[in-house]
Structure 1
Amino acid sequence: MLKGIPKILSPELLKVLCEMGHSDRIVIADGNFPAESMGKDAIVIRCDGHGVPELLDAILQVIPLDTYVEKPMNLMEVMPGDPVKTPIWDTYKEIVAKHDERGAACVGNIERFQFYEEAKKAYAIIATGESAVYANVMLQKGVVIN
């Protein structure tokens, strides 16, 4: 155990977050996301018993978002005509506002199939048990300044 580290961050996940460099991306995927097939060239970490919001909050406690891009946090855009509500996005925006002074302004959307393509290039994908749909988040790591 470590002091000051959220308990939800497993040793495996902490190692990955530590290994990531500036501009590397990590996907926190909902339970429907094809993490294993998208993550053939990425590290896939299983966090099936957890939801995206609590992992997002914990991760943003230990890594900064990239300040060199306008939207270092991206959500998977809802497909046109898909009758889905995404209230979880409001939760994400509240979480990011606690950790980044840009708040919701640093959150963007990526079209679903483009999100998949970008996820294939991510450093890691975290597979969660999140049951909300369109609950996937892609984060771009910034520079840690002490």
Structure 2
Amino acid sequence: MLLQTLIHPKINEVLARAGHHSKVLIADGNYPAYNTLGPNAELVSLNLSPGVVSCTQVLKALLSAIPIEAANTMGIPADDPYALGGDPPIWSDYREILKDSKLNIELQPIQKWDFYDAVASRDHVLTIQTADQALWANLLLTIGVRKS
């Protein structure tokens, strides 16, 4: 029986094989998850129905299981038709979750097309596809080191 809140068997299997610098993408419901996988990545689809499950739910579960050293959002091009004129509201939620988890990590945007390249890298081990409807909710996590 696991003590952490993350109990999904496939996600735990992939994370157990991952190491320092491995990348995990929490993808929103609009992200093209299947055709942007890195060569070593697995896709777990948790998109049951619109909004279920959410990116914030997945983030909380992951933080119970793995150390995180970096968190990257998808940077929003100013000319993008879905640009919001500032940070998306979900980024505030991410900041609060990271703070509540006692992590001193700042969200670092990676410009949209560079974000896709980062996900396509050999360090990408897992994409968790959610059904989150929030715009710009994609979050690329870098696994850190276990200190104890």
- Fold shared per TM-score above 0.5: yes
Matches within 5 A, 1:1-146: 2-6=1-5, 9-39=7-37, 41=39, 42-49=41-48, 50-66=53-69, 72-82=70-80, 83-84=83-84, 86-103=88-105, 106-121=106-121, 122-146=124-148
Consecutive aligned runs of 4 or more in structure 1 exceeding 3 Å deviation: none
Q: Compute the displacement of 1:3 (Å).
A: 3.9
Cα 1:100–1:64 change in 2 (3 A) is farther
Query: 1 or 2, which has the higher helix percentage?
Result: 1
The question of whether the paired residues in 2 share the 8 Å contact of 1:29 and 1:126 is answered with yes
**TM-score, scaled to structure 1:** 0.87
Cα 1:95–1:16 change in 2 (3 A) is same
How much identity, in percent, do the aligned residues show? 28
Aligned Cα root-mean-square deviation (Å): 1.5
The question of whether the paired residues in 2 share the 8 Å contact of 1:25 and 1:123 is answered with yes
Where does structure 1 lack aligned partners over 5 or more consecutive residues? 67-71
Measure, in 2, the Cα distance between the counterparts of 1:53 and 1:144: 23
Q: Compute the displacement of 1:10 (Å).
A: 0.8
The question of whether the paired residues in 2 share the 8 Å contact of 1:65 and 1:100 is answered with no
